[in-house]
Structure 1
């Protein structure tokens, strides 16, 4: 096994993330193999395994990176001077827009991709991701409650409601591409009305 400098390791890792993302977008998790990834990167399989133990862990790492970018964009909303309801409505619409504009996140919401990932990942990684995601959500919700933007309720329940709304994207095709935006507008409006109180 060749020894790599720190710079080479960084370059290889970046290449695996970039090429892996391209292949996952094009073919999905099930139809992308580690052979496809190493061929696209011009590396051996052994080198791939120095960085990731499976294609699912690579997919998970890419997903985490995409979620961090999304969170950064959403955090910008809190700088705007909006009413509580407007802020929450804008939060949901921006979240959906970021998914619609991101081919990787779109892929996550297609063809049982997310379920396939969760099924194949080691249990401790799934639990860690879920716990971390929930904890960050609770922190954000608690801050919004302290600012008077959200009504005082169990933060975990509110995070669950927000997660449920985002997962409705999984049913876009079943609801119908033309009808879906109208359905989401109403759901977002009703939920924002229920979760917020005007200052």
Structure 2
């Protein structure tokens, strides 16, 4: 039986996710060891398994929490927009910024790692996580598709169009033609404006 109270268990689990987030973002999944996380939290390696069945299960929990944080950040930014056009522009700018500056956001949105890893977990690992994490979709597509001024009425098409645009962030690291920061920012801004103009009828 665990020697931890319920509040202690909640605190330790939250700390594992928080410190795991920092280590996974800095070193990646493969180079981060369970020992690195437990040392950061200040618990023994054996204690880790009272909270997560594997490193993969912790990483999925980290990505799930990161997904919720990113979505809340985008929601806050978009809520300030005054028109549907500005909503789309703000959502894309905010998402691009997250993907460019946050390795975990890139792995979630561009790499689709959350669903990939979840599918590889054992049944025991899945049960320990509770709810099934969903794929990181860009929000608002259904609401925009219902608007008369929007050219397309298929939310999946709009979502796919906007998601595909995010892949331009990889152009910075292209082995064929690496873009300088100023060039990339210009390309990104032009692409966003082109998509916004094309998405709306007027």
Q: State the TM-score bracket (shorter-chain normalisation).
A: 0.7 to 0.9
Deviation at 1:9, TM superposition (A): 0.4
- Answer whether contact 2:25 2:102 (CA < 8 A) is retained: no
Equivalent residue number for residue 23 of structure 2: 23
**Is the alpha carbon distance of 1:94 and 1:37 closer, same or farther for their aligned partners in structure 2, counting shifts above 3 Å?**
same
Aligned mate of 1:176, from 167, 176, 179? 179
Q: CA deviation at 1:79?
A: 4.3
TM-score, with length taken from structure 1:
0.77
Aligned pair count reads: 187
Question: What residue is the counterpart of 2:193 in the other structure?
Answer: 189
Structure 2 residue runs without a partner (length 5+): 127-131
Using the TM superposition, give the Cα deviation of residue 150 of structure 1 relative to its aligned residue in structure 2, in angstroms. 2.9
Q: Which has the higher helix share?
A: 1
| In 1, Cα distance between equivalents of 2:29 and 2:40 | 16
How far off its partner does 1:185 sit?
1.6
In the other structure, the counterpart of 1:86 is: 86
Q: Please state how far the C-alpha of 1:7 moved relative to its aligned partner.
A: 0.5
- Match in the other structure for 1:45: 45
Contact kept, 8 Å, 1:56 with 1:117, in 2: the verdict is no
Distance 1:116 1:73, change over 3 A: closer
- Structure 1: distance between partners of 2:3 and 2:62: 25
Instruction: Return the offset for 1:187.
Output: 1.7
Give me the TM-score of the superposition, normalised by structure 2: 0.76
Match runs of 1:3-82 below 5 Å? 3-76=3-76, 77-82=78-83
1:3 to partner: Cα distance: 3.0
CA offsets, 1:97-133, max 9 Å, x none? 2334546436x38xxx9477765543477xx545x54
Aligned residues of 1:19 and 1:37 also touching (Cα < 8 A): yes
**CA contact 1:89–1:192 (8 Å) conserved in 2:** yes
